[in-house]
């Protein structure tokens, strides 16, 4: 995947706003940091983590037995949640001053972007699978002189198998990375002053509730 595509829909230990020492006004690369963005880093992190956790909950639900349109709805929800998390990652990175923290956040953004791409791809699989069973089947029968029904059926089976494999991969990635991501969150939150720690918690709770609504 090219870099341009990944960068679209890609005293204190962390150097973040809300830190116990005075915040830096200039990044290591010489660019000034927006002070409004800097003081909102903690709630941005809370919102990002809430979106990510709701996506993790959704991918862990029973999906395979659902019909195609409902599977597509689940995948679309996961992709939208992860897209929100990516947007927050971008703002967080823009407000950081510590080079080490910026690098870790960029790695996290790349990981979330990978999961987002996988979720979007799963949605495409369900759309294609449904087409092969309905409109596309009729169109192929109209223009395919050999009427290769067997090969079409094999393609549907292959799509289903690929979807299951990709879904399983996403679930394993969410599960296997959870311990280290949880440690990273705690590491970041320990740098917050009590005021900023509360801002993180409030943002996380409120966004986790909103992102869990059926009409989201």
Query: Which residues, 6 or more positions from 102, have their beta carbon under 8 angstroms from its beta carbon?
Result: 27, 28, 93, 96
Q: What is the pLDDT of residue 72?
A: 93
Q: Is residue 21 part of a domain?
A: no
Measured in whole angstroms, the distance separating CA 43 from the mean position of its chain's CA atoms is 17
Cα–Cα separations (whole angstroms), residue 23 to 32, 34, 92, 137, 188: 12, 12, 14, 61, 15
Q: What is the pLDDT of residue 106?
A: 97
Cβ neighbours around 10 below 10 Å, total: 19
Q: Is residue 127 part of a domain?
A: yes
Q: Is residue 7 part of a domain?
A: no
Tokens (6 digits) for 162: 């690929």
The stretches in the chain having pLDDT less than 70 are 1-32, 135, 137, 141, 144-156
Tokens (6 digits) for 22: 């005075």
Tell me the pLDDT tens digit for each residue of 127-161.
Answer: 887 777 776 767 776 776 555 565 666 666 777 78
From CA 130, how far away is CA 64, in angstroms rounded? 15
Q: What is the pLDDT of residue 38?
A: 78
Q: What is the pLDDT of residue 132?
A: 74
Structural domain harbouring 77? 35-211
Q: What is the pLDDT of residue 151?
A: 63
Q: What is the pLDDT of residue 60?
A: 86
Q: Is residue 19 part of a domain?
A: no
Q: Based on the structure, what is the number of domains in the chain? A: 1
Tokens (6 digits) for 187: 């590491």
**Which three-class secondary structure string do you get for the chain?**
CCHHHHCCCCCCCCCCCCECCCCCCECCCCCECCHHHHHCHHHHHHHHHHHHHHHHHHHCCCCCCCCHHHHHHHHHHHHHHHHHHHHHHHHHHHHCCCHHHHHHHHHHHHHHHHHHHHHHHHHHHHHHHHHHHCHHHHHHHHHCCCCCHHHHHHHHHHHHHHHHHHHHHHHHHHHHHHHHHHHHHHHHHCCECHHHHHHHHHHHHHHHHHHCCCCC
End-to-end Cα distance, the chain: 30
Q: Is residue 181 part of a domain?
A: yes
Q: Is residue 166 part of a domain?
A: yes
Q: Is residue 96 part of a domain?
A: yes
From CA 196, how far away is CA 200, in angstroms rounded? 6
Tokens (6 digits) for 212: 């869990």
Among 40, 45, 46, 112, residue whose Cα is nearest residue 80: 112
Q: Is residue 14 part of a domain?
A: no
């Amino acid at each position: 995947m090219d870099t341009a595509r990944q960068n679209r829909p890609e005293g204190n230990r962390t150097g973040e706003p809300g830190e116990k020492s005075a915040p830096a006004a200039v990044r290591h690369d010489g660019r000034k940091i927006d002070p409004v963005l800097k003081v909102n880093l903690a709630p941005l992190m809370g919102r990002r983590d809430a979106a990510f956790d709701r996506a993790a909950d959704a991918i862990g639900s029973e999906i395979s037995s659902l019909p195609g349109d409902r599977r597509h709805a689940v995948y679309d929800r996961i992709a939208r949640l992860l897209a929100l998390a990516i947007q927050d990652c971008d703002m967080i990175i823009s407000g950081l001053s510590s080079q080490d923290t910026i690098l870790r956040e960029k790695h996290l953004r790349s990981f979330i972007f990978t999961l987002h791409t996988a979720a979007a791809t799963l949605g495409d699989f369900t759309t294609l699978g449904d087409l092969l069973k309905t409109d596309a089947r009729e169109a192929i029968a109209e223009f395919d002189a050999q009427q290769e029904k067997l090969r079409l059926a094999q393609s549907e089976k292959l799509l289903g198998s690929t979807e299951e494999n990709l879904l399983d991969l996403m679930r394993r990635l969410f599960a296997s990375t959870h311990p280290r991501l949880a440690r990273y969150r705690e590491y970041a939150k320990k740098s917050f002053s009590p005021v900023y720690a509360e801002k993180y918690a409030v943002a996380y709770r409120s966004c986790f509730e909103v992102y869990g609504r059926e009409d989201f």
